[in-house]
């Protein structure tokens, strides 16, 4: 969905390096999410934020941190990257309202991360 953008799209880094993945949205949604996708494991939630002052851990938050800089921006950081963080990372947004888009998540195109 072009309304949710992620940068970079691809990244190669070395073990121990700090990296940041960024997500921006123009949908005006209040909720934002970070997931990682690994083959055979589906999507697993890393962190989520229901508004600018609300940050919550997901299933697999260890080794990651996030920052909600504004309603439209939600960044994911790997403080010291390790090889098992090699994965495809997705940002998603949703609206807390109860209209026809209730509970629907809209995904960015993903960031493919390789940690050597």
Partner 1 sequence: AQSVAQPEDQVNVAEGNPLTVKCTYSVSGNPYLFWYVQYPNRGLQFLLKYITGDNLVKGSYGFEAEFNKSQTSFHLKKPSALVSDSALYFCAVRDPYSSASKIIFGSGTRLSIRP
Which residues of this protein are in contact with partner 1, per CB under 8 A? 1, 4, 35, 40-45, 48, 58, 90, 92, 102-110
Q: Residues of 77-100 as b/e, b for ≥16 C-beta within 10 angstroms?
A: ebeebeeebbbebbbbbbbeeeee
Distance of closest approach, residue 42 Cβ to partner 1, in angstroms: 4
Give the Cα separation of 46 and 33 in Å (integer). 8
Q: In terms of CB distance, is 58 or 63 closer to partner 1?
A: 58
Q: In terms of CB distance, is 37 or 71 closer to partner 1?
A: 37
Distance of closest approach, residue 73 Cβ to partner 1, in angstroms: 17
Q: In terms of CB distance, is 19 or 47 closer to partner 1?
A: 47
Give the residue carrying structure tokens 């260890």: 62
- In terms of C-beta density within 10 A (0-12 exposed, 13-18 middle, 19 or more buried), how is residue 52 classed? middle
Distance of closest approach, residue 30 Cβ to partner 1, in angstroms: 15
């Amino acid at each position: 969905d072009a309304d949710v953008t992620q940068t970079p799209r691809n990244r190669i880094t070395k073990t121990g390096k700090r990296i940041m993945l960024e997500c921006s949205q123009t949908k005006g949604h209040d909720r934002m999410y970070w997931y990682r996708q690994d083959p055979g494991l589906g999507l697993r939630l890393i962190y989520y934020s229901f508004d600018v002052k609300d940050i919550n851990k997901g299933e697999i938050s260890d080794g990651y941190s996030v920052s909600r800089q504004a309603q439209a921006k939600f960044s994911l950081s790997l403080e010291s990257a390790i090889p098992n963080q090699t994965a495809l990372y997705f940002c998603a947004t949703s609206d807390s309202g109860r209209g026809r888009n209730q509970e629907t998540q809209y995904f960015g195109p993903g960031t493919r991360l390789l940690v050597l």
